[in-house]
Chains A and B, each alone.
Chain A
Amino acid sequence: MPIPFPFSAIVGQDEMKRSLLMAAVDPSIGGVLVFGDRGTGKSTAIRGLAALLPKMRAVDCPYHCDPDASDDYLCDDCRAKKAKNGTLKSHQIPVPVVDLPLGATEDRVIGALDLERALTKGEKAFEPGLLARAHRGFLYIDEVNLLEDHLVDSLLDVAASGQNIVEREGLSIRHPARFVLVGSGNPEEGELRPQLQDRFGLSVEVKTPTDLAVRMQVVRLRDEFERDPEAFVAKWKNKDAKISRQIQKARKLLPEVEVPDRTLEETSKLCIRLGTDGLRGELTVIRAARALAALDGHQQVEIEHVKTVAVSALRHRLRRDPLDESSSTHRVERAIKEQFGE
């Protein structure tokens, strides 16, 4: 596996980095979509994040079940074992960050009959796919807008239910599959299906920096990294570790972070002003704001937190208005200004 570029060494792109960290603190935010210019470090950030996620406790099963989870979130084997022994043996493993590469076939994504065992031993066994591997972790799709439609369909279904149901080749299997969906892409290569876009909690637009000093810094660090990746990673190790600790602390703090009524009310007003469909927008804003507060070490969500996350949480939920020329980012920013003042 190639050495990833350190997350902390990524220059600028604060919205993208912040959104990924929030999703790492609270997976229920519902994933991050990173769309934008070429060569802005979209993939780099996600691979860098994987390297600094704190480890997690997991049962030694194909789905690395959470030993503390309720029965509903365990796989069949673990549920049976727990019923028998009362507890489940577990150990520390890295949080899975699984690539769903373009060109993947359906059998590898959702799982299928284990061909090797079937051919050599004549056994009918299930070979878990990528969705199983991504359980409790991240599923990363680069160029998500080029993903084939039938894979998108399977993905939407699983992402909504948190369960993967496999019915093929005489197999009938269901297993838990909860993961943070992270997608990146460039809109010039093709549009994203609206249903899939809606599935992401946060959506980030990345742009190439136009400031000379920033650009120079990017090029210099990249150059240094490519010349000697090991030395570079060692140099940034402490900064990466600091972010890793920040995530851990924030996760502990998260259940205690309070959302004042006034903040809730203001958030609802903002969503009404923007005319976002359903309650998903509001929920995401609040969850993201809580995660951000936790990352800041705050016990309480402030209006500032809401203002910071609102654009990422709402810009992809606006109805397309063919008569409004302005970008959705601009529309959300305008509404925030109207709602909260300067």
Chain B
Amino acid sequence: MSQTAPLSGAADAAVVAASSPAIQAPAPWDDAVLAAVLLTIDPKGTGGVAVRALPGPVREMWLSLLYDLQPPGTPRRRVPLHVADGRLLGGLDLAATLRSGRPVAEKGLLVEADGGILELAMAERIAPGTVARINLAFDAGEVVLERDGLAMRTPSHFAVVALDEGIGDDEGLSPALLDRLAFHLDLTAIPYDDAVSCDYDLEDIQAARALLSSVTISDGQIEALCGIALALGIPSLRASIFACHAARAHAALNGRTTVTEEDLAVAGRLVLAPRATQLPPMEPPPDAEPPLPEPSEPNQDQDQSKDSPQEPRELEEMILEATKAAIPAGLLAQLQGGRLRRSRSRSTGKAGAMRNAPTRGRPAGVLHGEPRSGQKLNVIETLRAAAPWQRIRREERLRVGRPINRLEIRPDDFRITRFKHKSESTTIFVVDASGSSALHRLAEAKGAVELLLADCYVRRDQVALVAFRGQEAEVLLPPTRSLVRAKRCLAGLPGGGGTPLAAGIDLGMLIADSIQRRGGSPVLILMTDGRANVARDGSGGRARAFEEALAAARQVRALEISTLVIDISPRPQPQGRELAKEMGAIYLPLPHADARALNDAVRATTR
């Protein structure tokens, strides 16, 4: 989000002026155009662009402008969200293979895009595996294919345009992809009326391309770009490399063979600013952290002034001013809220969430047989099965005087892929964190859960955590495989208050049910002393609360969810046993629960 959306005029402008430094950034649309131009001048050096915007006239305008700038014949390929490996990387061309009777390879999108642009549709939702395949080809400058009996390496260089339709902070491109794209644009705040002009044309591009290889950048300038990246908290070195390329492309665009301050400022604004995770501590606010540690440079090179008229430090300040003006205004707020943009924990959490997508089961060999409902014909294996017989079948047909097919496939050759459905198991802990339990057993329960977590981690199972206390139940940890996350949630689990047992069971059941619907196998582990005293509506009363808990328990049984009730009261109570019975659960009284015994019990249930 940029700060210069001139929607409501003067009031906004005043706010902007107050929060941003002296230099005003150019209009976002002009920068978006500039990014398209620089990308076109040096696609290899800048990698590509991430465009955050919903589909609409502004995005369309930007895209058509980008393609208008490309030299004639530049390929443009669009990768759909759920692209198959065969289409992306290439593979066996079935039609041609059947026609000619010999294996014919088919180019994938990554090869077809060579010398041009690869457009990723809805890039924020693209599967991590697909991103990895694109990245590998992108980095290596070639597509390595090992599929369907084919082995090929095909050089391919393409620029990526990743269309990010994410909304809000939680949705966004994979960090691995973002890292490889020099420019990160946000078009969401650009009004339609602004998205009109482009001051450059094909001739400008061609002139700049011709000049590009002779543009030089000095060591002092490189140092300045690296220094700023550090000051803005940008860890990846690709950012600085991209900034050099962008600066050079901008110099070429302006007909220069040496990089100037202006070029560096553009590079800082377009490449570094959107990646900032901290504000540069150049003008420290009162009693803030100490300023940027000066790198030790005892012997300043004397002849450095020859290629850079200014000391890197001064140069750095200059670019920083320009860069800071382009840093999203929201960053400051986020920093003050104690959150870093694209912080490590958030991105890992997101990767975890993506992995939770239903697994397809894994191919576990090939079966002889006809494809029936839902089963998939394995074309390659079918061809393989048919292949050895071709000569005999041809001769046979000749003998009876029938026309010869190039390739004859008979039902006997049909092969189908067998999938092994190892449905993922998710252990849902529903932990009683109320006063009565908290006092006795919560610490032990935590220990047990931690042991189980480590165990689930090794088996690649997922774990979820629900706690209930006071008036209600809450999901402390949605299903995850991340040990670190789970531990963090657990550490923050407070105890005390009433025992809304029914609410806890309800919530655990809800999660279990949704996992079941997606084809996973949930295991519910209820850790409680069974002494409910808060009803679903939050009101007190032991009798009604327990009655509701029993009702919830019966629902669990109806859903056939495997359940274990661990009675964690110091002396086992009849309520616990009754609850387990209604649930159809295994009941485990643990008057002297230690973490390890608990762990063993749970393992026995989940196996």
A residues sitting closer than 8 Å to B (CB atoms) are 1-2, 37-40, 43, 99-109, 112-116, 118-124, 127, 129-130, 142-143, 146, 148-150, 168-169, 186, 188-191, 193-194, 208-213, 215-216, 218-220, 222-223, 226-227, 320-323
Contacts and interface: CB of A to CB of B under 8 A. Distances in A.
B387 A320 contact: no
B142 A116 contact: no
A149 B454 CA distance: 21
A193 to B, nearest CB: 7
Interface string B125-136: 000110011011
B146 A219 contact: no
B145 interface: yes
B453 A143 contact: no
B449 to A, nearest CB: 9
Nearest to A226: B45
Contact of B351 (A108, A120, A190): A190
Interface in B378-394: 380-381, 383-385, 387-392
B453 A2 contact: no
Q: Classify the interface of chain B: helix, strand, loop or mixed.
A: helix
B347 interface: yes
Nearest to B391: A122
Contact of A2 (B140, B244, B366, B407): B140
A108 B142 contact: no
Interface stretch (B235-243, B264-272, B513-521, B525-533): B235-243
A216 B226 contact: yes
Of A107, A113, A119, A194, chain B has the most CB atoms within 10 Å of the CB of A119
Contact of A102 (B133, B149, B227): B133
B236 A37 contact: yes
A169 B235 contact: no
B460 interface: yes
Contact of A215 (B230, B366, B392, B457): B230
Contacts of A216: 219, 222-223, 226
B450 A102 contact: no
A119 B103 CA distance: 8
A40 B128 contact: no
A320 B45 CA distance: 42
Contact of B148 (A107, A119, A122, A212): A107
Given A103-B85, A115-B387, A322-B487, A1 B142 contact: yes
B483 interface: yes
B227 A223 contact: no
A121 B129 contact: no
B101 A103 contact: no
B129 A102 contact: yes
Nearest to A124: B388
A320 B454 contact: yes
B387 A119 contact: yes
A186 B176 contact: yes
Interface string B394-430: 0000000000000100000000000000000000000
Contacts of A2: 140-142, 155
A43 B407 contact: no
A2 B344 CA distance: 33
B136 A101 contact: yes
B351 A189 contact: yes
A116 B149 contact: yes
21 contacts: A101-B145, A102-B129, A105-B148, A106-B363, A108-B150, A109-B146, A112-B149, A116-B103, A119-B102, A122-B392, A169-B381, A188-B175, A188-B348, A189-B128, A189-B132, A210-B235, A212-B223, A216-B222, A216-B223, A219-B237, A223-B217
Contacts of B376: none
Closest 4 CB pairs between A and B?
A118-B387, A122-B391, A108-B146, A104-B146
A127 B103 CA distance: 14
Contacts of B364: 150
B89 A103 contact: yes
Contacts of B483: 320, 322
Interface string B108-140: 000000000000000000001100110110011
B213 A227 contact: yes
Nearest to B141: A2
Given A101-B144, A169-B385, A322-B487, A149 B229 contact: no
B153 A1 contact: yes
Contacts of B226: 212, 215-216, 219
Given A150-B363, A322-B487, A169 B176 contact: no
B481 interface: yes
A220 B344 CA distance: 28
B152 to A, nearest CB: 10
Given A105-B146, A106-B363, A119-B390, 10 more contacts: A101-B136, A102-B129, A103-B146, A115-B103, A115-B383, A118-B390, A120-B101, A169-B385, A216-B219, A223-B244
A138 B213 CA distance: 36
A219 B132 contact: no
A255 B146 CA distance: 38
Nearest to A43: B139
B295 interface: yes
Contacts of A323: 450
A143 B384 CA distance: 30
Contacts of A322: 450-451, 453-454, 483, 487
Contact of B295 (A115, A150, A212): A212
B457 A320 contact: yes
Given A188-B175, A322-B454, A38 B236 contact: yes
Contacts of B153: 1
Given A100-B146, A108-B151, A115-B149, A220 B391 contact: no
Interface in B81-102: 85, 88-89, 97, 101-102
Contact of A114 (B149, B155, B453): B149
B102 A101 contact: no
Given A102-B133, A119-B102, A119-B390, A215 B147 contact: no
A321 B447 CA distance: 12
B237 A218 contact: yes
A142 B128 CA distance: 14
Contacts of B136: 101-102, 142-143
Nearest to A228: B213
Contacts of B347: 188
Nearest to A195: B458
Contacts of B592: none
Contacts of B451: 322
B573 to A, nearest CB: 30
The residue among B175, B223, B387 with the most chain A CB atoms within 10 A of its own CB is: B387
Nearest to B457: A320
Contacts of A227: 213
B225 interface: yes
Contacts of A186: 176
Contact of A38 (B155, B176, B383, B391): B176
Given A122-B389, A188-B344, A215 B237 contact: yes
B235 A208 contact: yes
B261 interface: no
Given A108-B149, A169-B385, A322-B451, A215 B176 contact: no
Nearest to A133: B151
A79 to B, nearest CB: 26
A197 to B, nearest CB: 11
A27 to B, nearest CB: 23
Nearest to A116: B103
A189 B223 contact: no
A40 B141 CA distance: 18
Interface string B470-504: 00000000000101000100000000000000000
B132 A213 contact: no
Contacts of B450: 322-323
A119 B145 contact: no
Nearest to B383: A115
Nearest to B292: A212
Contacts of A39: 179, 236-238
A112 to B, nearest CB: 6
B542 interface: no
